[in-house]
Chain A
């Protein structure tokens, strides 16, 4: 019988332990598939964040470095400069990248480091139990904004992709989502583009991935996908913001 489907080599045979309906396992999967298809598994090194995806190294079947909270872009810079032949990516959430690590991401981008950065935006701090993140949208209830986020006291949703797209050193920025099969395939293409750009030495590539967090949003997985489409995407529109897709 012909084998039509198998686990990507870049994923270990470890069951995902993320919450039901969480987007992390989907994103892990598309990164693993992209790494396999580009045949870069033996030269890819990933950097795990602090956040829910702190366990990324339990799932990816290649070398991973665990950085301090928010510091993956700085660690990635060093890895890439020391080993320019390797393919380096960081995998960061909105707590890691858009809050505590804002400085590192902006300066890695501004230096135009030849890196691939995958940024998971689920509009809250997932691992610590659903506190307000800089990406939390207006009126969104979190455990630290129980009455809903109010711009007067806690600011506005931070559009990291648009912010980074203004930086000269950045070659590619795309915002994608994992709410549907169609969008998941687009996300995979964006991830692949980010890797290809690095292979071709085109510089800093950034993919923001809108991802559901049913547990902390207090929704069923299905309802979370609906909320992502109806509430999150209007604030964070999908599409290429800078650069071109690789064919």
Chain B
């Protein structure tokens, strides 16, 4: 029986991790993630889990410890945000290159400088190319559900890759929402026993992780990593099907919201999608065919499926809560790549919104949808990439 609770996003993720009860946990605080690992430390102290915690001195060491523990054959977790993820960067590549299924909630926060502790997606977008699977979550329920599913996805014998589960700093990590917990036993059964794959300390078959491979086979190794990523989508969908049977909650590669007959659409990640859906409902009531696509699986990115979902729209705005300075927003670049192969494409614009925790208001969505409506009726695109809600 599901238990209805009122909890923060951090608490929800901490409880998902508690229910899985992994072997090893690297702990290092960083706002706004701190509270998640702190709660986990309490679970350890109170005997709720049997996890070995390592209180390390930095995120670089935290991910290094996770890599060691995972190579030794453990089920391993940690969590971080912002500068912490940035400091892990070197180790992120090693975790994925060594094919270690480490599970890490990332509570999205802006990057320095200037120093800012609030929510935006710059941190995880900066880790886009690290070879990790990335799953994004709109609210506490999705953060919880995605964290549980991440174990099945990353640990799948065809995949064996690390997974980050992204949720918005403060907006989700620190806001209390109504959501449902699964029973501890249900989660345990769902994720199953951790299966080792080539653990260290095997005297019969000694092996090395991450050895020196130069021009002879490095290229092939990376090609193999690419190959594995192509299998992730199917596993994500299979795991989602099983999860739906257990929870009744349906997940896919992305969420399509009123997109079937939409003329105009927003593509937007995480919490701001919730705000946008309300505005889309209002536009629908006024007879404007508006819809929304909320990516869930960002790495690997489901290009064909996203193109299929957006192909009948006339104008689309991709909303980015991160910027690639001198380029377009990172999500925009994915969507343009996805749509390029269509014979007929919608007109695309890119808005950068909500950096450093700037509030994303329904009025922002209205502004964008009105602009899209004009474009869909044949209006011209004035600026392709524009910052939304800038204080003058």
A residues engaging B (CB < 8 A)? 50, 54, 66, 68-70, 99-100, 102, 125, 127-129, 131-132, 134, 143-147, 153-154
Contact = CB atoms under 8 A, between A and B. Distances in A.
B270 to A, nearest CB: 23
A206 B388 CA distance: 47
A66 B115 contact: yes
B58 A128 contact: no
B369 interface: no
Given A99-B58, A128-B31, A144-B55, 19 more contacts: A54-B115, A66-B113, A66-B115, A68-B112, A69-B83, A70-B58, A128-B30, A129-B35, A131-B29, A131-B38, A143-B41, A144-B27, A144-B29, A145-B41, A145-B55, A146-B41, A146-B45, A147-B45, A153-B55
A144 B30 contact: no
B57 A144 contact: no
16 contacts: A50-B115, A66-B114, A70-B58, A100-B87, A127-B31, A129-B38, A131-B34, A131-B55, A143-B38, A143-B42, A144-B27, A144-B38, A144-B41, A145-B55, A146-B42, A153-B55
Contacts of B58: 69-70, 99-100
A154 B112 CA distance: 30
B37 interface: yes
Those 10 A-B pairs whose CB atoms lie nearest each other, nearest first: A128-B29, A99-B57, A100-B58, A146-B45, A144-B41, A128-B34, A143-B38, A131-B29, A154-B55, A147-B45
Nearest to A128: B29
Contacts of B87: 69, 100
Interface residues on B, range: 20 to 34
A68 B83 contact: yes
Nearest to A158: B57
Contacts of A147: 45
B109 to A, nearest CB: 13
Interface hub of B27, B34, B113 (most chain A Cβ within 10 A): B34
B53 A153 contact: yes
A141 to B, nearest CB: 10
A177 B55 CA distance: 27
Nearest to B27: A144
A129 B57 contact: no
Contacts of B59: 100
Interface string B50-61: 000101011100
B116 to A, nearest CB: 11
Nearest to A132: B55
A144 B53 CA distance: 9
A131 B34 CA distance: 9
Contacts of B113: 66
Contacts of B45: 145-147
Contacts of A68: 83, 112
Contacts of B83: 50, 68-69
A22 to B, nearest CB: 18
Nearest to A134: B57
B354 to A, nearest CB: 23
Interface string B35-77: 1011001100110000001010111000000000000000000
B160 to A, nearest CB: 29
Nearest to A148: B45
A99 B55 CA distance: 11
A102 B31 CA distance: 21
A129 B34 contact: yes
Interface string B96-114: 0000000000000000111
A224 B236 CA distance: 52
A128 B225 CA distance: 37
A187 B186 CA distance: 58
